[in-house]
A and B are shown apart, each in its own frame.
Chain A
Amino acid sequence: MSNPYADFAHIKRLLIIIVVVAIGFIVARLFFVPKDFYEFGHYRGGSVTENMARPLRYAGSLSCKDCHEEKHLSWSKSRHKTVNCETCHEAALKHTEDPAIKPTKPEGRKFCLLCHAKNISKPKNFPQVDPQGHNPGQNCAECHNPHE
Chain B
Amino acid sequence: MLGLGFPKKLLALTNLDGYKIEEHLWGYGIDVDKCIGCGRCVNACKVENKVPDDPFFFRTWVERYTEKKNDKVEVDSPNGGKDGFADIKDKKELIKSFFVPKMCNHCENPPCVQVCPVGATYKSKDGVVLVDPGYCIGCRYCIQACPYGARYLHPEKRVADKCTLCYHRITKGLQPACVEACPTQTRVFGNLKAAQSPISRFIRAKKILVLKPDLGTRPKIFYSGIDKEVR
Chain A residues within CB distance 8 Å of chain B: 26, 29, 35-58, 60-61, 80, 82-84, 86-87, 90-91, 113-115, 117-123, 126
Contacts and interface: CB of A to CB of B under 8 A. Distances in A.
A82 B188 CA distance: 12
Interface of B: 2-4, 8-9, 13-17, 19, 21, 33-40, 44, 47-49, 64, 66, 83-88, 91, 94, 97-99, 119-125, 130, 132, 134-135, 164, 167-169, 171-172, 174-175, 177, 180-185
Nearest to B34: A123
A43 B132 contact: yes
A126 B8 CA distance: 55
B230 to A, nearest CB: 14
Contacts of B16: 48-49, 52
B168 A91 contact: no
B166 to A, nearest CB: 9
Contact of A118 (B38, B87, B182): B87
Given A35-B13, A41-B122, A55 B87 contact: no
Nearest to A45: B14
A122 B167 contact: no
Given A43-B132, A57-B47, A57-B177, A115 B38 contact: yes
Contact of B180 (A39, A84, A115, A120): A84
Contacts of B21: 48
Majority DSSP secondary structure for residues of B touching A: loop
Given A39-B14, A49-B14, A49-B16, 4 more contacts: A60-B180, A114-B38, A122-B36, A126-B184
Contacts of A46: 13-14
Contacts of B125: 40
Contacts of A123: 33-36
Contacts of A91: 44, 47-48, 177
Q: Which 6 A-B pairs have the closest CB atoms?
A: A47-B132, A43-B122, A45-B14, A121-B97, A83-B183, A54-B168
A58 B177 contact: yes
Contacts of A52: 16-17, 19, 167-168, 171-172
Contacts of A90: 47
B47 A115 contact: no
Nearest to A60: B174
A120 B88 contact: yes
A80 B184 CA distance: 9
A142 to B, nearest CB: 21
Contact of B130 (A47, A53, A119): A47
Nearest to B87: A119
A41 B114 CA distance: 13
Given A49-B14, A54-B168, A123-B34, A44 B119 contact: yes
A42 B110 CA distance: 14
Contact of B97 (A26, A56, A120): A120
A127 B144 CA distance: 41
